[in-house]
Amino acid sequence: MALLACNTNKRKIYISECSTNIKFKKVSYTHLIDSAKYYDKQYIEVSGKYVEGKNQSALVNDSTFTNHGNGSSLWVNFTQDCPLYLVGKHTGLFETEDGEYNKISDRHMTIRGRIEITKKGHKNTYKATINEVSYLVLD
């Protein structure tokens, strides 16, 4: 039973063919939120907790002692223009290997994409948007 539990939380890496020759700047979540204007239109790598729901696709700080409100969160714009596939397989990010829906909400992730501060997600309430997502690691 313990072995089955370990397999379900195994690290998974998803990549797309978008932005393959781009160098990404690794940035801490807190620094990115504090300095979003500086990183506008730049390609970054950041980690946090992903939260999804009705009208919600957000990366939030994974610290329990910080503000998780929309103004301190990043909208994540997954698009069909840059589909993400599990490394070594043709399984998309939102599907499991058996064809079911892959639950990624409330999971820690590292994500690479392009920051846009003029786009602020649903109802313009987020700090910025991560567009052109080309790499994602689910822990």
CA dihedral 129, 36, 18, 51 (to 10 degrees): -40
**Structure confidence at residue 64 as a pLDDT band (50, 70, 90):** low
Q: In degrees, to the nearest 5, what angle opens at C-alpha 108 toward C-alphas 102 and 111?
A: 85
Q: Which residues contact 49 (CB under 8 A, 6 or more apart)?
A: 59, 60, 61, 62, 106, 107, 108, 109
- Which pairing describes strands 12-15 and 74-76: parallel, antiparallel, or unpaired? unpaired
Q: CA quadruple 22, 23, 25, 29: dihedral positive or negative? A: positive
**Length in residues, the chain:** 139
Structure tokens at 88: 């070594």
What's the CATH architecture for 12-138? Beta Barrel (2.40)
pLDDT digits (tens, 9 = 90+) for 33-60: 999 999 999 999 999 999 998 889 999 9
Q: What is the pTM of this model?
A: 0.84
Query: For the segment 70-98, what is each residue's pLDDT rounded down to a tens digit?
Result: 678 999 999 888 899 999 887 888 776 66
What confidence score (pLDDT) does residue 129 get?
Answer: 96
Residue 7 to residue 45: CA distance in whole angstroms: 26
What are the extents of the domains in the chain?
Answer: 12-138
Q: Which positions ≥6 away from 82 have C-beta within 8 Å?
A: 16, 17, 18, 19, 132, 133, 134
Of 108 and 95, the one with more pLDDT? 108
